[in-house]
Amino acid sequence: MLTVLDTPYQDARADGLSFALGLPPLDALAVLPVERGGLTVQLRLLGASHQVIAGPLSETVACLPGDGAEPLPGSAATTLPGWSYAFTAATAVHADDAAFGRAVDAICARLADRGDALTGAFPGSRYAVTALALDGAEPNAVDAHPDGAAGGGASAENPEQRAGIGWRTWHAYPQTREIVMTRSRLVRPT
């Protein structure tokens, strides 16, 4: 689902992003609830990036005010009662505006017709985009994933993947030609 937002984004560079777990729902510009794996997952677009609420977990990657915000890590993991959680992030910097534009267009095109994806286009640049999508809905899913792998669906070799849910996000910054990509997985061990 594409949402054209009428408010400017509040984060302007990849290095301004912070990471937090456990925050209450923040004011959102758009919310897409999706049922998957026995959970209702809320994909939430913020003026300062994104928040995902899934079962016992709240993940926020955004320009967060205050001293309690942690810088965006390359990876993080934690356990919650009955669940484990893993997060990865990477930033791709594109050499020129054309390459950056093609990368953002590819992300938007691949997510356009998915009922489990939310893309927000901010005013000022057609490439000022934040996108969120549940993982594993599409084999060989969206490119530019932090660990270089495509896809992300359940695997017969890894039964834990069937007992969890995953999501990916993309945060595009036209000013710096950066795309921050995250991948998260919430697993109920079997």
Could you tell me which residues are beta bridge partners of residue 184? Answer: 87, 167
Ranking 4-13, 144-153, 164-173 by mean pLDDT, the lowest is: 144-153
Whole-angstrom CA distances from 158 to 150, 163, 183, 188 are 16, 10, 18, 13
CB contact at 8 A, 134 and 111: no
Percent of the chain with pLDDT over 70: 76
CB contact at 8 A, 46 and 29: yes
Per-residue pLDDT, averaged over 64-86, amounts to: 85
Give residue-wise pLDDT tens across range 28-44: 999 999 998 788 999 99
Burial 29-59 (b: 16+ CB within 10 A, else e): bbebebebbebebbbbbbbbbbbbbbbebbb
The pLDDT assigned to 101 comes to 96
The average confidence (pLDDT) of the chain is 81
pTM of the model: 0.82
Percent of the chain with pLDDT over 90: 57
111: Cα separation from own chain's centroid: 12
E strands, the chain, are: 2-4, 18-21, 30-36, 39-46, 49-54, 57-62, 70-71, 75-80, 83-93, 117-121, 129-134, 164-173, 178-187
Give residue-wise pLDDT tens across range 122-166: 877 889 899 999 986 433 333 343 333 333 333 334 443 446 899
Per-residue pLDDT, averaged over 74-92, amounts to: 95
CA distance 175 to 166: 29
Of 102, 25, 99, 110, residue with least CA distance to 62: 25
pLDDT band with cut points at 50, 70 and 90 for residue 10? low
